[in-house]
Amino acid sequence: MKIKIDFTKLLCETFCHFNLDIELEMINWFLATSLKGDYEEQKGWNRSGINQLLYGYSANNESHKAKPFPIENGNLRDFITSIFVRAIVSPVSWDGKGRIEKWRKDNKIGLGKYRFLDFPEKSGNDPRRLLWDISAYKNKELKKEFAHPEYPNRTKPKIIDVKFSTYGEGYYVLIEFSFWEFNYEPGWTEEIAWQEPNEYIGDFLARAKEKLKTITVNSEATERLAFETKHNFQTYSEKGCFNCIWKREELLGCYCGKMAFYKKTDSCFIDDPKNHCCDEWDFSYDENTNPQNYITRGNKET
């Protein structure tokens, strides 16, 4: 399907001319064209490039870097507009030698310019609705068979983030997940789906949604909250040791296997498992025991 892209209208958010699917495809197109030419500039330790420009980060350019699109908090429109502004009108002096200017000239990008581009044929799958549906899978419980089934001690896997983005080779959806025993801290990522060449963005998102539906437990986020409330789940710095995979039981009491491993001590007893905060360890010398022995004391104010 051929579409006339007027860059001025694209930048000025003329909604009657462009829908979300076209805008998303244009972002992918901008990034795709940046991968096809020599548009990176090295000056000392600093490396500038088109990916850096479009996503607006200050670190060295990484051609395959992708920032997550904000699909759950209502800021997607501002995010998209900021990319268009940087792509079409940002100054060309940032790289010292006009690499942005060359990129725009090579691809006929600029105010008052237009070009015809081929995009996939539309279908009935609405990208805006599907992005909303996909974002709702955050905090959903994963089926154990899809989350480290070879580790039975990693239980109650949960999606802690859903990411949607591109770096110029089609869009992708991936999840970040963790387990009850790891206090649901960021841990692992799993690719859910990639957009195929010439695949309509709505069809791709429908496919990603179906995969998410397949790998998650059919329960609402409120059920997850009820489970955590029942088991007195608190933040990592507050919950203590009661479900920690590092806690060991010994004759003299609870033993911290994590501290033993990282601190290389022989005996790491926990004086209060219900009020012991691993991220606020306080090491105290126990004068009544062997000088090699230490005890850990939780932060009583937490």
Mean pLDDT by 10 residues, the chain (302 residues): 90 72 96 93 88 92 95 89 92 68 93 93 94 94 93 89 97 94 86 96 97 87 64 51 70 74 67 61 38 35 32
Residue type, 263: K
Q: Give the per-residue pLDDT at 219.
A: 66
Predicted structure pTM score: 0.75
Provide the residue ranges of all domains of the chain, joining segments of one domain with +: 2-118, 127-230, 247-296
User: 10: Cβ–Cβ under 8 A, 6 or more apart, which residues?
Assistant: 18, 23, 26, 84, 88
* DSSP H or E stretch at residue 103: helix 99-107
**DSSP string for residues in 178-209:** E-GGGTT-S-EEEEEEEPPTT--HHHHHHHHH
Residue-wise burial string across 219-244, b where 16 or more C-beta atoms lie within 10 A, e elsewhere: eeeeebeeeeeeeebeeeeebbbebb
Quick one: tokens of 116?
């015809």
Q: Give the per-residue pLDDT at 297.
A: 34
Quick one: tokens of 56?
């607006």
Residue type, 129: R
